[in-house]
Amino acid sequence: MILTKGIEMDVVHVLSIYATIDLSSNKFRGVIPDAIGNLISIRGLNLSHNELGGPIPLSFANLTSLESLDLSANQIDGEIPQQLKGFDISSSAEPFQKPSDG
Protein backbone atom coordinates (compact mmCIF):
# COMPACT_ATOMS: atom_id res chain seq x y z
CA MET A 1 0.00 0.00 0.00
CA ILE A 2 1.20 3.52 -0.78
CA LEU A 3 -0.03 6.92 0.29
CA THR A 4 0.09 9.69 -2.26
CA LYS A 5 -1.52 13.10 -1.90
CA GLY A 6 -3.42 11.81 1.12
CA ILE A 7 -4.95 8.86 -0.73
CA GLU A 8 -4.07 5.26 0.19
CA MET A 9 -3.75 2.88 -2.74
CA ASP A 10 -2.84 -0.79 -3.07
CA VAL A 11 0.10 -1.45 -5.37
CA VAL A 12 -0.98 -4.23 -7.69
CA HIS A 13 1.57 -3.92 -10.48
CA VAL A 14 4.73 -1.84 -10.81
CA LEU A 15 5.82 -0.78 -14.28
CA SER A 16 9.38 -1.71 -15.19
CA ILE A 17 10.07 1.06 -17.73
CA TYR A 18 11.22 3.90 -15.47
CA ALA A 19 14.86 5.02 -15.62
CA THR A 20 14.95 6.75 -12.23
CA ILE A 21 12.43 6.76 -9.41
CA ASP A 22 12.63 9.25 -6.55
CA LEU A 23 10.38 8.31 -3.64
CA SER A 24 12.34 10.28 -1.05
CA SER A 25 10.73 12.14 1.85
CA ASN A 26 7.33 10.49 1.56
CA LYS A 27 7.01 9.11 5.11
CA PHE A 28 6.85 5.54 3.80
CA ARG A 29 6.89 3.00 6.64
CA GLY A 30 7.61 -0.70 6.88
CA VAL A 31 9.95 -2.81 4.81
CA ILE A 32 11.05 -2.15 1.26
CA PRO A 33 8.65 -4.14 -0.98
CA ASP A 34 10.10 -7.11 -2.85
CA ALA A 35 8.21 -5.85 -5.93
CA ILE A 36 10.89 -3.19 -6.43
CA GLY A 37 13.07 -6.06 -7.63
CA ASN A 38 10.75 -6.28 -10.66
CA LEU A 39 11.98 -2.91 -11.93
CA ILE A 40 14.65 -4.64 -13.98
CA SER A 41 15.57 -1.67 -16.20
CA ILE A 42 15.77 0.95 -13.45
CA ARG A 43 19.03 2.93 -13.26
CA GLY A 44 18.40 5.08 -10.20
CA LEU A 45 16.33 4.57 -7.05
CA ASN A 46 15.97 7.06 -4.21
CA LEU A 47 14.08 5.88 -1.11
CA SER A 48 15.88 8.22 1.30
CA HIS A 49 14.33 10.13 4.19
CA ASN A 50 11.41 7.78 4.81
CA GLU A 51 10.68 5.49 7.74
CA LEU A 52 11.70 2.23 6.06
CA GLY A 53 13.21 -0.56 8.11
CA GLY A 54 14.35 -4.13 7.85
CA PRO A 55 16.78 -5.62 5.36
CA ILE A 56 17.35 -4.68 1.75
CA PRO A 57 15.24 -7.20 -0.23
CA LEU A 58 17.09 -10.02 -1.95
CA SER A 59 14.99 -9.20 -5.04
CA PHE A 60 17.39 -6.28 -5.59
CA ALA A 61 19.59 -8.92 -7.29
CA ASN A 62 17.30 -8.38 -10.31
CA LEU A 63 18.29 -4.71 -10.58
CA THR A 64 21.23 -5.33 -12.88
CA SER A 65 20.99 -1.88 -14.53
CA LEU A 66 21.03 -0.02 -11.21
CA GLU A 67 23.69 2.71 -11.06
CA SER A 68 22.52 4.81 -8.11
CA LEU A 69 20.76 3.79 -4.90
CA ASP A 70 19.95 6.09 -1.97
CA LEU A 71 18.57 4.46 1.17
CA SER A 72 19.92 7.05 3.61
CA ALA A 73 17.91 8.40 6.56
CA ASN A 74 15.95 5.17 7.05
CA GLN A 75 16.23 2.32 9.53
CA ILE A 76 17.64 -0.27 7.13
CA ASP A 77 19.42 -3.13 8.90
CA GLY A 78 20.93 -6.52 8.19
CA GLU A 79 23.58 -7.53 5.73
CA ILE A 80 24.15 -5.71 2.46
CA PRO A 81 23.04 -8.14 -0.29
CA GLN A 82 25.86 -9.54 -2.40
CA GLN A 83 24.51 -7.90 -5.57
CA LEU A 84 24.99 -4.45 -3.98
CA LYS A 85 28.57 -5.06 -2.85
CA GLY A 86 29.82 -3.18 -5.95
CA PHE A 87 28.25 0.05 -4.73
CA ASP A 88 30.24 2.59 -2.75
CA ILE A 89 28.41 2.59 0.56
CA SER A 90 31.10 4.21 2.68
CA SER A 91 28.78 7.01 3.82
CA SER A 92 25.15 6.47 4.73
CA ALA A 93 24.53 10.20 4.23
CA GLU A 94 25.27 9.97 0.51
CA PRO A 95 23.60 7.99 -2.28
CA PHE A 96 25.19 4.64 -3.07
CA GLN A 97 27.01 4.91 -6.39
CA LYS A 98 28.17 2.03 -8.52
CA PRO A 99 31.83 2.67 -9.42
CA SER A 100 32.51 3.30 -13.08
CA ASP A 101 34.39 0.62 -14.96
CA GLY A 102 36.72 3.01 -16.74
- Residue spans of the domains in the chain: they are 2-97
pTM over 0.85? The answer is no
Fold of 2-97: 3.80.10
Q: In whole angstroms, what is the distance from residue 51 CA to residue 65 CA?
A: 26
Tens digits of per-residue pLDDT, 3-16?
666 777 776 665 55
DSSP assignment letter at 51: E
Q: Residues 56-59: contacts with CB within 8 Å, 24+ apart?
A: 56/32, 56/80, 56/81, 56/84, 57/31, 57/32, 57/33, 57/81, 58/34, 59/34, 59/35
Tens digits of per-residue pLDDT, 59-88?
988 888 888 888 889 998 888 888 777 765
